[in-house]
Amino acid sequence: MATRKNWTRDELLIALNIYHKLTFGQLHARQPVIVSIAEKMGRGANSLAMKLSNLASLDPVLKLRGIKGMSGASALDRTVWTEFHSDLNETVPASEEALRQLFAAGETTVIEVLPKEGVKVRKSPPHGPTEFLTSVKQRRGQEFFRDAVLNNFGGRCGVTQLGLRELLVASHILPWGTHEKERLNVRNGLALSSLHDAAFDRGLIAFDENLKLLLSKRLKHELPHRAVAESFAAYAGQCLILPDDAALPDLAFLSEHRAKKFSKS
């Protein structure tokens, strides 16, 4: 009879990393990301999928929506879950680094978790001077946040449904610089096109308590222009589009964004 392989802390960090990069409906053994990672771990895809479903039972966001995972979470699962979420700025970069090591991803490569394709390692584009000044820990956190937020939105802009990943931004609702505790919180992120990210960051657009798009007075004054009409007015009043099993953006964060940025524009 095969010996049961115990889960290590590093493996659980990787499991939590991809847990936040997949939606609940994707936690199954045929999911390409789960297949890719299980193979690298030397485990069966069923084993990893079951572990992710066990972790889902600990997720308070899912509980609020009436979604239950499997009930087999171990004491170590609970310990690492608590540790992971008590200080995301430390544990998320560590989990991202563990994932990179699993796939032998060097410093000149980018690793992406793509739900429809699996885990992809590719050459990174040339780094600019600003990126060189960023610490490795911050880069790892930013890499995690981007994948987690874009995947939470199904790999598409929540406003326009643009699906070209190269043109999408994982936007922070509460700014990176002023809200350290929420920097890597997936519910503090929106997947937006580069244009809509810039508009959101400058308070030209916002989202109300029903996730509907709001246009600022300044933007409305530009409505005769075709670019504004087609890129913004066409979507005014439309709800953010997310998969049914996605983690919804935090309404309190969106309210704070409206109060501090949108009301002044």
Chain segment 172-197, per-residue pLDDT in tens = 999 999 999 999 999 999 999 999 99
Give me the domain span that covers residue 175.
Answer: 153-265
Rg (CA), the chain: 19
Tens digits of per-residue pLDDT, 139-171? 999 999 999 999 999 999 999 999 999 999 999
- Over the stretch 198-234, which tens digit does the pLDDT of each residue have? 999 999 999 999 999 999 999 999 988 999 999 999 9
**φ/ψ of residue 218, rounded to 5:** -60, -40
Q: How far is CA 120 from CA 114, 123, 124, 190, 220, in A?
A: 7, 10, 12, 22, 41
DSSP state of 109: E
- Is the pLDDT assigned to residue 1 strictly greater than 70? no
Q: Are 122 and 211 in a shared domain?
A: no
- Structural domains in the chain (count): 2
Residue 94 lies in a domain: yes
Residue 147 lies in a domain: no
| pLDDT computed for residue 174 by the predictor | 97
* Same domain, yes or no: 33 and 87: yes
**Are residues 77 and 158 located together in one domain of the fold?**
no
**Is 77 in a helix, a strand, or coil?**
helix
Residue type for 116, please? Answer: K
Query: What is the pLDDT confidence band of residue 136, given thresholds at 50, 70 and 90?
Result: confident
- Residue 240 gets the label, from left (phi > 0), alpha (psi -120 to 50) or beta, of beta
How high is the pLDDT of residue 61?
Answer: 87
Pair (64, 173) in one structural domain: no
Residue-averaged pLDDT of the chain: 92
Q: Are residues 125 and 172 in the same domain?
A: no
Residue 126's pLDDT band, with cuts at 50, 70 and 90, is low
Question: Does 161 lie in the same domain as 262?
Answer: yes
Same domain, 187 and 120: no
Q: Domain check: are 129 and 1 in the same one?
A: yes
Length in residues, the chain: 265
Q: Are 206 and 258 in contact (CB under 8 A)?
A: yes
194 and 262 belong to one structural domain: yes
C-alpha distances in angstroms, 36 versus 12, 28, 135, 153, 254? 16, 12, 28, 21, 35
Please give the Cα distance from 220 to 232 (Å, whole number): 9
Pick the range with the lowest mean pLDDT from 17-31, 65-79, 125-139. 125-139
**Does the pTM exceed 0.95?**
no
Sign of the four-CA dihedral 38, 41, 44, 47: negative
Give 72-121 pLDDT, tens digit per residue: 899 999 999 999 999 999 999 999 999 999 999 988 899 999 999 999 99
Could you report how far apart the first and last alpha carbons of the chain are, in Å? 67
| 41 found inside a domain | yes
